[in-house]
């Protein structure tokens, strides 16, 4: 087992190349071991090191720190996610609990960037949920109802207004929510790597192959060494299942995305010189599309069940063609060779869109499964799992504990059959929206 990722992510390519990268080449012992250096693992390591300045903390990642999904996502720090509207107060309360977690997630990222003076292209622009299908109006009206009940500022928009704001006449119905931030995910996660305290030892390109629990310690095997630790936090999100963590409650999904080159002055004028914006789909398998502040277009319109450990160049090129079709649907005047970068990334899903945050055994903790909204929640869960693992309590932990827990998933092959069927159904529903 080895995790090989493509090196084509536009966000990561925007960053300076890091030096001084260490891999695990010998046997080590530590008080705390954290597996996975994305938002979750980096935040857990940062917090643990603050609380326990005299303990030895090791953080490992199978690739370069921050270069998994955390550096490869679409950069929406969300306050709300779309639902179909609710028929009962209980469901509304559950939605509120979710939104409370998102709100804490936004606060914790805000605090981090303030404390560390991080420039991550933070833009409190809000976001749009939009569709070309008039029939989707009902979904957005129901959603609007939910948002009104919970006091979220928002507005419903038709084709003309959407054209003015977005520079495309593709969308016929949309809902704008004022909350929510657009940011550069690579810059944010790189800042978290740079902010690691000195008592955190970081080993990269070091994949955990297997692990076992003994009486007083946990033994973790890597290609070139073993780490014996007293405590462990699993923060591998889309790879939790491959390490046997909460296997019946989560599964990985592979997403792919592309980014165009910067639009020329003429091209930018041709789409109405819009301000930076982000659109999320009304149907789950529709496209997420964004115009960045430096006039690039990002699109993500595939989601599939496959081996999460790698995607070869041929497969990525095939996805890139689907991305181009999505861009051309919305901006037919842009040229065919406009995509500069395409990449894949792994997210973690549960059956009911709920997250994992728990002690799974004595001295063993896990946090993850953010279902596509892990920027804020991952940062929050990382910090809070570190507190929980240090036997501390916080108001945030109480809010997190209130959430609905992930539900049990059937074993293979039934799970994969179920996921394939669901994805195929959603794909048909969103055919016009990719």
Ligand X SMILES: Cc1cc2nc3c(=O)[nH]c(=O)nc-3n(C[C@H](O)[C@H](O)[C@H](O)COP(=O)(O)OP(=O)(O)OC[C@H]3O[C@@H](n4cnc5c(N)ncnc54)[C@H](O)[C@@H]3O)c2cc1C
Cβ distance to ligand X smaller for residue 187 or 300: 300
What are the residues binding ligand X (CB under 6 A)? 3, 35-41, 60-63, 68-70, 72-76, 207-208, 235-239, 243, 255, 257, 300, 345, 347, 368, 370, 372-375, 378
- H-only helix segments in 156-238: 159-166, 185-194
Give the sign of the dihedral formed by CA 386, CA 36, CA 374, CA 282.
Answer: negative
How many H-runs (helices) and E-runs (strands) does the chain carry? Answer: 12, 18
Cβ distance to ligand X smaller for residue 146 or 342: 342
Query: Nearest 5°: phi and psi at 83?
Result: -140, 175
Within 8 A by CB and 6+ apart from 37, the residues are 45, 59, 60, 61, 65, 66, 193, 202, 204, 235
What are the CA-CA distances from residue 369 to residues 179, 254, 372 (Å)? 23, 13, 8
Look at residue 229 and give its three-state secondary structure: strand
Cβ distance to ligand X smaller for residue 179 or 368: 368
State yes or no: cis peptide before 413, omega within 30 of 0.
Answer: yes
- What is the closest distance, in whole angstroms, from the C-beta atom of residue 72 to ligand X in the complex? 5
Cβ distance to ligand X smaller for residue 173 or 232: 232
- What is the closest distance, in whole angstroms, from the C-beta atom of residue 288 to ligand X in the complex? 7
* DSSP letter assigned to residue 410: P
- What is the closest distance, in whole angstroms, from the C-beta atom of residue 319 to ligand X in the complex? 11
How many residues appear in the chain? 434
Cβ distance to ligand X smaller for residue 144 or 355: 355
Within 8 A by CB and 6+ apart from 134, the residues are 172, 173
Cβ distance to ligand X smaller for residue 31 or 304: 304
Strands (E), 26-126: 28-35, 57-60, 76-77
> Regarding beta strands 127-131 and 225-234, do their DSSP bridges make them parallel or antiparallel, or are they unpaired?
unpaired
- What is the closest distance, in whole angstroms, from the C-beta atom of residue 343 to ligand X in the complex? 8
Within 8 A by CB and 6+ apart from 275, the residues are 125
How far, in Å, CA of 414 to CA of 420, rounded?
10
Cβ distance to ligand X smaller for residue 66 or 267: 66
**Residue with smallest beta-carbon separation from ligand X:** 374
What are the CA-CA distances from residue 248 to residues 136, 244, 282, 412, 424 (Å)? 33, 9, 28, 10, 22
Cβ distance to ligand X smaller for residue 126 or 345: 345
Apex 332 CA angle, 330 and 333, nearest 5: 130
Cβ distance to ligand X smaller for residue 23 or 159: 23
């Amino acid at each position: 087992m080895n995790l090989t990722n493509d090196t084509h992510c536009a966000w990561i390519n925007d960053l300076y190349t890091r030096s001084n990268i260490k891999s695990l080449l010998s046997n080590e012992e530590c008080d705390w071991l954290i597996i996975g250096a994305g938002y979750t693992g980096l935040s857990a390591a940062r917090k643990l090191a603050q609380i326990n300045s005299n303990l030895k903390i090791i953080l490992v990642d199978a690739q370069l720190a921050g270069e998994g999904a955390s550096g490869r996502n679409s950069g929406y720090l969300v306050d709300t996610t779309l639902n179909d509207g609710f028929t009962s107060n209980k469901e509304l309360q559950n939605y509120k609990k979710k939104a409370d977690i998102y709100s804490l997630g936004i606060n914790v990222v805000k605090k981090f960037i303030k404390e560390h003076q991080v420039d991550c292209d933070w833009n409190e622009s809000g976001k749009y949920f939009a569709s070309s299908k008039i029939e989707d109006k009902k979904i957005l009206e129901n959603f609007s109802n939910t948002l009104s009940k919970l006091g979220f500022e928002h507005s419903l928009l038709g084709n003309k207004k959407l054209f003015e704001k977005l520079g495309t006449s593709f969308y016929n119905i949309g809902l704008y929510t004022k909350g929510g931030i657009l940011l550069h995910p690579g810059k944010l996660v790189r800042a978290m790597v740079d902010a690691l305290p000195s008592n955190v030892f970081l080993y990269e390109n070091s994949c955990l192959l297997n692990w076992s629990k003994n009486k007083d310690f946990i033994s973790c095997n890597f290609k070139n060494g073993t780490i014996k630790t007293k405590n462990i936090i699993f923060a591998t999100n889309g790879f939790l299942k491959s390490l046997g963590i909460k296997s019946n409650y989560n599964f990985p999904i592979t997403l792919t995305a592309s980014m165009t080159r910067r639009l020329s002055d003429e091209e930018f004028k041709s789409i109405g010189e819009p301000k930076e914006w982000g659109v999320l789909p009304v149907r789950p398998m529709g496209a997420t599309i964004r115009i960045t502040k430096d006039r690039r277009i990002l699109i993500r319109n595939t989601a599939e069940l496959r081996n999460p450990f790698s995607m070869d160049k041929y497969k990525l090129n095939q996805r890139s063609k689907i991305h181009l079709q999505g861009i051309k649907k919305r901006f037919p005047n842009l040229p065919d060779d406009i995509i500069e970068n395409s990449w894949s990334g792994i997210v973690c899903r549960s059956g009911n869109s709920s997250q994992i945050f728990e002690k799974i055994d004595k001295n063993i903790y896990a946090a993850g499964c953010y279902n596509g909204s892990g920027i804020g929640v991952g940062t929050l869960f990382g910090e809070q799992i570190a507190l929980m693992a240090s036997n501390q309590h916080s108001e945030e932990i109480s809010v997190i504990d209130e959430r609905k827990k992930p539900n049990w998933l059937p074993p293979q092959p039934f799970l994969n059959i179920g996921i394939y069927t669901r994805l195929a159904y959603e794909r048909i529903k969103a055919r016009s929206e990719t």
